[in-house]
Structure 1
Amino acid sequence: MLRPVMAEEPMVDLPLAVQGGGRCSRWPRGFLPFAALYGEHRHRGRVHAFVTFASSGLDETIFRALNLAGTDPVLDRIFVFFTILTGVYVIFLVAVPLWLKGLREATFDVLLVLGITILVSEAIKYLVGRARPCDTLSNVRTLAGYRCSAEFDPAFPSGHASRAFAVAGFLAIRFRWKVGVPAGVAAVLAGLSRVYLGLHWPSDILGGAVVGIALALLVEYVSRRVGLYQRIRRRIVEAIPHLRRRTA
């Protein structure tokens, strides 16, 4: 079932502009393909920030091309699967196998990556306050059970994408390409699923990927270079029953 959502057109339609508080600043023309616009507008009585691509309409164009929910039952099942996969289940799908293999330190690190990623992405969501496409565009294709909430639920960055890319980034760094490539493919499909279902803009996915990968790199750096972190981690994992095989 498709659910057309009638809403006002996006408020920013000026090229290379940053709007907010009655001010307008110009970006250098050479940044047109890449410039992000930042501004403020009112949504349900509160002022919040939003991020959107420049007036080329690239974000919406890509969204319309990928938002195909309800057009193919097979694709619907595939993308719903990847959306579910990168929900809370990602914690068990990654952490449990690592722990059972005796990779205690890797388990601790990946749980830390996920925890920080969730906190950071949620904080950014409410700082930016960007509306979802299914809240702001008309004729968005959605599926039952995967529609915009009645209450305002910020879009940028995508939490699913940030978690998926955080895990993929961590696995690629720690275990190299044999594990990192499949995890990366799954992360890309998870990100695409959010656009397919009409729940996120493509730039939400890009933002989530940047957040997730950056935090994976940060935790990996700290885990290898900071002695205090290593000592705390060792004490925690040694206090928990585990299989004694090897550490990562």
Structure 2
Amino acid sequence: MYELDAAATHAINNLAGASTAIDFLMVWVSAMGVPLLVLAVAGQWWRRTGRPQTRHVLVAAGLSFLLGLALNQLILLFAHRMRPYDSGVTHLLVAPSNDPSFPSDHATATFAIAAAFLLHGMRRPGLWFLAAAVLVTASRVYIGTHYASDVLGGALTGIVAAFLVRAVYWEGTRADRLITSIL
């Protein structure tokens, strides 16, 4: 299984270096993707149409984001995977990281947001967030910081977090009405 993962990771990372413009774009997406998605979510708080439901989904997306990253911290208690550039699988386009490779926090965060929107019925923005999540996660392998399975594991953690939030945070409850009425 490792050989397949390393081969897929190497194939994606091997595209790096062919185009300076694409390399720059992928480094930028990797660095700015998560903050821009968070801003895109937060900026919808003042949206005029469908305000209560939109705000409920925004809170659910934020909770999914946080829960996904918390789940990653639990996983890191048991998994200490070396980065692919330390194993000689990839060449790195950015500064090295001291954190373990599995799971990818970027993948977790972006897929948690996309899954929250999709699970709560906001299909159009959910699909846009999903496209952004795929781009951010692909950039992490492209620039050499993660194995392909790291981003798949992170995506799965984000999706699981969104499902858990969907199961316990219901629209229209007293807590939901209180949170969504702020500002």
Partner of 2:72: 121
Contact 1:147 1:199 in 2 (8 A): no
Contact 2:57 2:116 in 1 (8 A): no
Partner of 2:92: 142
Q: How does 1:20-39 map to 2 (within 5 A)?
A: none
**Is 1:71 the equivalent of 2:18?**
yes
Contact 1:95 1:110 in 2 (8 A): no
Partner of 1:175: 121
TM-score (ref. length: structure 1)? 0.65
Q: Distance in 2 between matches of 1:141 and 1:222?
A: 42
- Code of the residue aligned with 2:176 in structure 1: it is R
Partner of 2:33: 86
**Is 1:206 the equivalent of 2:157?**
no
- Code of the residue aligned with 1:127 in structure 2: it is F
Distance 1:123-1:86 versus aligned 2 partners, 3 A rule: farther
Q: Distance in 1 between matches of 2:37 and 2:130?
A: 13
Contact 2:57 2:117 in 1 (8 A): no
Q: Distance in 2 between matches of 1:195 and 1:141?
A: 10
Partner of 1:237: 180
Q: How does 1:149-168 map to 2 (within 5 A)?
A: 149=97, 152-168=98-114
Distance 1:125-1:87 versus aligned 2 partners, 3 A rule: farther
Contact 2:91 2:144 in 1 (8 A): yes
Q: CA deviation at 1:124?
A: 1.4
Q: CA RMSD in A?
A: 2.1
Q: CA deviation at 1:79?
A: 1.6
Q: Distance in 2 between matches of 1:165 and 1:147?
A: 24
**Residue deviations 1:1-35, cap 9 Å, x none?**
xxxxxxxxxxxxxxxxxxxxxxxxxxxxxxxxxxx
**Is 1:110 the equivalent of 2:110?**
no
Q: CA deviation at 1:176?
A: 4.1
List alignment gaps of at least 5 residues for structure 1: 1-52, 242-248
Contact 2:170 2:176 in 1 (8 A): no
Q: Distance in 2 between matches of 1:206 and 1:116?
A: 17
Distance 1:108-1:154 versus aligned 2 partners, 3 A rule: same
- Code of the residue aligned with 2:177 in structure 1: it is R
Partner of 2:84: 133
Q: Distance in 2 between matches of 1:192 and 1:127?
A: 25
Contact 2:33 2:132 in 1 (8 A): no
Q: Distance in 2 between matches of 1:88 and 1:94?
A: 10
Q: Distance in 2 between matches of 1:178 and 1:96?
A: 16
Contact 2:104 2:146 in 1 (8 A): yes
Contact 2:103 2:151 in 1 (8 A): yes
Structure (1 or 2) with the greater helix fraction: 2
TM-score (ref. length: structure 2)? 0.86
- Code of the residue aligned with 2:10 in structure 1: it is R
Structure (1 or 2) with the greater strand fraction: 1
